[in-house]
Structure 1
């Protein structure tokens, strides 16, 4: 049985390395398409049915380059498609958000050679795979029970991150295609969960968490 895989990363050398690694270690897998931008990724998914997507978290150089927003759209458009995310991000909150969004595999790029083949095997057999380095980051942040013990929901993390990067509530609403009321509610909910009472406290929290 052959499995079809789509690869996405903004670095051509990484795409070449991933294709070579998969060819050598997973002979039953066939890379049917590659994408170096988010817009190209969605075009590839429409043109090439696949069994697994392996994608970078963030691909700059495209108008749709926000990682969490991309994953959310992928989950909406392709709810049954297994996704493995490769990332250099060491932020436990964002890594946890990926898991909560239903990503089946998360590993740091530095561990790709060691862990990717195992991750592919696990995910294609219906299991989840969290890389050792990702587990260590979650454990260091006291996020022990994956998917359970996080303070903010993925949407709240997304809103807090965009606000901390200088957007207003109105701008966040426009960017995420949600109502101003929804964004305001998610902001208030995040602050309540965290025990924060001012925008400056929320900003400092986001910066401390690397959001």
Structure 2
């Protein structure tokens, strides 16, 4: 490793940030370059400092209002280049956790797991790996979603159609925008819904809300 792993921490609880700060300072190869208490503060830090890994809660004030940082993380992960993201959360909803993986989060740690699990996640993601803590894997297994993370991942084209569909764009309009046939768009939409375990349009919208797309 040619330089320290630079980390930014975002959580709206000061005691959580203090605990992570203490943990990172105990590892000479990790460097804490900033802390934020909300999504706006995280955005400011990312503009001001280069970092390799963002450790972020998702249930904290977001840029778009409410207590949801997922939309910001989704936009962050669309940038090139972008830091790796490790989500630190108490949320154990299987569909939400699976949705985080689908938007590009490569590390998810439950706050009830051991402190060492967070270090394992950081070191795993910086070398291109995926790290899901024991509590997170248990939540995914309980919801029978773990296989979808590997065998049911949406293709780039299915993801495009999925995103436009949850925005309320009709199939024929999606076809025009993406210059594909309506039949192809319908097939890709059905395939995306099947892979996500969704049956109805209501299921589609509810799922999109859970992962911060709407």
TM over 0.5: yes
2:189 counterpart of 1:181? no
Find the counterpart in structure 1 of residue 45 from structure 2: 44
- In structure 1, which of residues 184, 187, 195 is the aligned counterpart of residue 199 of structure 2? 195
2:117 counterpart of 1:129? no
Distance 1:21 1:103, change over 3 A: same
2:73 counterpart of 1:85? no
Q: TM-score, normalised by structure 1?
A: 0.72
1-structure distance, mates of 2:47, 2:115: 29
Find the counterpart in structure 1 of residue 109 from structure 2: 107
Which structure has more helix as a fraction of its residues? 1
2-structure distance, mates of 1:112, 1:158: 35
- 1:41 Cα offset (Å): 0.5
1-structure distance, mates of 2:17, 2:170: 38
- Is the contact between residue 76 and residue 82 of structure 2 (CA under 8 Å) also seen in structure 1? no
- Is the contact between residue 96 and residue 147 of structure 1 (CA under 8 Å) also seen in structure 2? no
- 1:60 Cα offset (Å): 2.7
Structure 2 unaligned runs (5+)? Answer: 175-188
- 1:195 Cα offset (Å): 2.8
The CA RMSD measured in Å over matched residues stands at: 3.5
1-structure distance, mates of 2:86, 2:34: 15
1-structure distance, mates of 2:13, 2:56: 11
Q: Which runs of 4+ in 1 moved over 3 A?
A: 61-65, 77-80, 147-151, 153-159, 182-185, 189-193
Distance 1:133 1:155, change over 3 A: farther
1-structure distance, mates of 2:28, 2:163: 38
Q: TM-score, normalised by structure 2?
A: 0.71
2-structure distance, mates of 1:58, 1:155: 26
- In structure 1, which of residues 148, 151, 158 is the aligned counterpart of residue 151 of structure 2? 148
- In structure 1, which of residues 9, 12, 27 is the aligned counterpart of residue 11 of structure 2? 9
Distance 1:150 1:122, change over 3 A: closer
Find the counterpart in structure 2 of residue 163 from structure 1: none
- In structure 2, which of residues 20, 23, 27 is the aligned counterpart of residue 21 of structure 1? 23
2-structure distance, mates of 1:142, 1:206: 18
Which string of whole-angstrom CA distances, capped at 9 and with x for unpartnered residues, describes residues 29-53 of structure 1? 1101111111110110010111111
Structure 1 unaligned runs (5+)? Answer: 160-168, 174-179
